[in-house]
Amino acid sequence: MLKKRIIPTLLIKGDELVKSTRYKNHSYVGDPINVIKIFNEKQVDEIIILDIEKSISNKDPNYELIQDLASECYMPLTYGGGIKSIEQAEKLFSIGIEKITLNSINYKNLNLMKEITNKFGSQSVIAAVDLNKNIFNKLYLYDWIKKKNIKLSIKEHIQQCIKYGAGELLINFVFNEGTLCGFNKRLVDFIDFEIPIPLIINGGINSKKNISECLNFSKIDAVGIGAYFIYYGPHKAVLISYITDKEE
């Protein structure tokens, strides 16, 4: 089992670093290479980078940019976005990516995860799951590309991802993303079944205390953090920081 981790989770669109709120209203927040350099200095545990265009555009990952990011990055780097074949995964690993994350493709072709993990090992793949909630606060699987409910059981989908070889599970809580509203660890109470792989939660983290609460919870192995490490103050000035820079 991996140690408890704090993971900056960054979004790229084209060649730019952006930040969204509830998966909408993407704003430019900087150059991704410069942000990687800042996180190098702050000695972060690892980084997740998600390209929010590639799955929608059905284009290949931007290998040139990814290689530049991987070359600059001193810590383990995970990439997600537009991965549809083992050849793409193989190229990403060859240019320095340590892990890939698969999300929307898992609803269409879980065999891809099995194929990749059989060749590169389960430690190389994170299964990402987007969850949203309805007006009754009931969680459901969310298709971030089509912006709609996926009528599958959350439990069954997660179990299938694990069965097909995922080495870690990343759950993104869409309704919290970018809001800095705080993450309530009770949101993972729906997990009343065994998850034998590390669980990363992402969405809403807003303080050191909130991070500690999550990491002290037995079900959570790592926290993904975006806005809290990107914005500063009530007017959301862009100021890249890390846990050691923040006030309690």
Does the active-site annotation cover 68?
no
Provide DSSP, the chain.
-PPPEEEEEEEEETTEEEEEETTEEEEEEE-HHHHHHHHHHTT-S-EEEEETTHHHHTPPP-HHHHHHHHHH--S-EEEESS--SHHHHHHHHHTT--EEEE-GGGGT-HHHHHHHHHHH-GGGEEEEEEEEE-TT--EEEEETTTTEEE-S-HHHHHHHHHHTT-SEEEEEETTTTT------GGGGGG--S---S-EEEES---SHHHHHHHHTSTT--EEEESHHHHEETTTTEE----GGG---
Please pick, among 130, 143, 192, 245, the residue that the annotation labels catalytic.
130
> Catalytic positions, please?
130
